[in-house]
Structure 1
Amino acid sequence: MIKIEDYDVYSFDLDGTIYIGDRLLPGAVETLEYIRSNGKKVRFITNSSNLSREECKERLERLGLTIQLEEVVTALYLAGLYFKEQYPAARVYVVGDDQVKAELHRQCIETIDDPAKATHVLVGHDRAFSYDRIQHAMNAIYQGAKLIVINPDPICPVPNGYIPDTMTFAKAIEVASGRAIDQIIGKPTHYYADRLLEISETDPNRILIVGDRLETDIMLGQAHGFATCLVLTGVVSKQDIPKSRIKPDYVIENLSELFAFELPLEKSHLFEQHL
């Protein structure tokens, strides 16, 4: 099983890994305390397109966790950073919840309502997604705007099942416009991996990614040299693993088994896989 000294930075996805809805998942508190008590770093890496770093920190604190802002990376925050670094003069038409515009404004990026003036279309999770928004976005793209997507997740786990996520909306716009997506910000992209390395200040092989999605969390590690641990409290079931080309280094039922410090040795071995 994983030993605490094996890695210097333990990076956790949020939805389906640390919590679902307003409920912490088993082992979250104890695991984070154990990591910190051993002098290791914790990072929270979410593909959320409607949580700023500050909002993410506040949400985790409401659930009873102790968080430092510099430990948090959200795809929404990185979307703002992407424009700040690559296109500081961009005029962005947003397809997304209000938090998307707020984050862009926080990073001094202009948002506009007139698609004819847009240099970019940015797509996030959008509870008000509509025919008009598709039409406006596709018209902006017809006139040369680039299509940027905050994360590649098609669905998101919630207490009673799943809800549509960013890629569901992005694909509708991609089909309507006939233009391929120009850039995806969230896991498992190089952009996300590079930012994680920057804030981790260590070598890739000293980072463990813990998450519930093969195609984002585990692929992030597989593509960029991080070790990976799949937790079965979110989207993926144990039966899904043999069907996928994406193989985690470890598989656990929930976070209480990450170090197996509260489980009999023979039980923890049932869920350990070195693939």
Structure 2
Amino acid sequence: MNIDDFEAYCFDLDGTIYLGNQILPGAKETLETLRMNHKKVLFITNSPTQTREECRRRLESLGIDVCSNEILTGPFISALYFSENFPDALIYVVGEEAIRTEFNHFSLKVTEDPSEATHVLVGLDRSFTYEKLNMAMNAVRNGAKLIVTNPDPTCPVPGGFVSDTYAIARAIEVASGKSIFQVTGKPSAFYGERILKELNVESDQCLIVGDRLETDILLGKFSKIRTCLVLTGVARKEDVDKTKIYPDFIIKDLNSLFFKVKQPC
């Protein structure tokens, strides 16, 4: 594709820009080229354990300059979702500190008492216990709506994968006998709407680049935004036909994103 095919470019993080503490091939160069050509850039991650500011610092440590308002994360999107749809909710959180930090910015109410919760929000919790499972289960059985930051069952790390949010959310769903009410992260329509609002562009002027068919590429399909699958993370080329989720472009890594680069004036 040509760099001028789109006005705005959205990039997933894990498996697209970096893997673990290693920046992936072509990521820094591609972002610098986009900046030089005055393109809008937005980083769109489902990560439920990082605030926007923490993501900014991580990118900065890898040599990528970015502002916090150019980043959307799982906790931030969930905070937006509650502030717009359930501003008076009492939320029991299964997750890490990033969720509470972002919720504080919106003055959302978090409760430690599952019996009074109107909603349970589930993100990745690396200290998840049987006690937390029971507390979340009882909240949902008592009528609290089960909200999930992201539908990722696993997350890529160097050398393999670790379990992610959806593994925990499904345990609560099974134990409570109640279905998940809403997933706020990719590929939800809410996330897609927020992307276009943040960038202030029409959907046909935006490209989503990511490594997951079920989140990044489906997000584009649901939001009428074109997509590019990069093969540096979860998905492999053969997975496209298996899942029947077809991106508009497929590239080996970000070095292959553009075949022609316009030199800035």
Common fold, TM-score beyond 0.5? yes
**One-letter amino acid of the counterpart of residue 171, structure 1:** R
1:102 Cα offset (Å)? 2.1
1:46 Cα offset (Å)? 0.4
1:260 Cα offset (Å)? 3.6
Structure 1 counterpart SS, 2:31? helix
Structure 1 counterpart SS, 2:53? helix
Mapped to 1, the partners of 2:112 and 2:250 lie a distance apart of 45
Q: Counterpart in 2 of 1:72?
A: 71
| Off by >2 Å, runs of 4+ in structure 1 | none
**One-letter amino acid of the counterpart of residue 180, structure 2:** I
Q: Counterpart in 2 of 1:126?
A: 125
Where does 1:26-105 land on structure 2 (aligned, <5 Å)? 26-105=25-104
- TM-score scaled by length of structure 1: 0.92
- How large is the RMSD of aligned CA atoms in angstroms? 1.1
1:76 Cα offset (Å)? 1.1
Q: Counterpart in 1 of 2:157?
A: 158
**One-letter amino acid of the counterpart of residue 76, structure 1:** P
**One-letter amino acid of the counterpart of residue 62, structure 1:** S
Q: Counterpart in 2 of 1:180?
A: 179
The total of aligned residue pairs comes to 261
Identity of aligned residues (%): 51
Q: Deviations 1:123-179 (Å, cap 9, x if unpaired)?
A: 000101111111101110111111000001110001121011111100000000011
Contact 2:2 2:259 in 1 (8 A): no
Mapped to 2, the partners of 1:114 and 1:6 lie a distance apart of 51
Q: Counterpart in 2 of 1:273?
A: none
Mapped to 1, the partners of 2:103 and 2:159 lie a distance apart of 31
**One-letter amino acid of the counterpart of residue 234, structure 2:** V
Could you list the runs of 5+ residues in structure 2 that have no partner in the other structure?
Answer: none
Mapped to 2, the partners of 1:206 and 1:89 lie a distance apart of 36
Mapped to 2, the partners of 1:15 and 1:253 lie a distance apart of 15
Mapped to 1, the partners of 2:13 and 2:73 lie a distance apart of 10
**One-letter amino acid of the counterpart of residue 119, structure 1:** T
**One-letter amino acid of the counterpart of residue 150, structure 2:** N
Structure 1 counterpart SS, 2:140? helix
Where does 1:111-260 land on structure 2 (aligned, <5 Å)? 111-260=110-259
**One-letter amino acid of the counterpart of residue 215, structure 1:** E
Could you list the runs of 5+ residues in structure 1 that have no partner in the other structure?
Answer: 263-275
Mapped to 1, the partners of 2:168 and 2:132 lie a distance apart of 10
Structure 1 counterpart SS, 2:56? helix
Mapped to 2, the partners of 1:98 and 1:222 lie a distance apart of 32
- TM-score scaled by length of structure 2: 0.96
Mapped to 2, the partners of 1:73 and 1:97 lie a distance apart of 17
Contact 1:105 1:111 in 2 (8 A): no
Where does 1:254-273 land on structure 2 (aligned, <5 Å)? 254-260=253-259
Mapped to 2, the partners of 1:12 and 1:76 lie a distance apart of 17
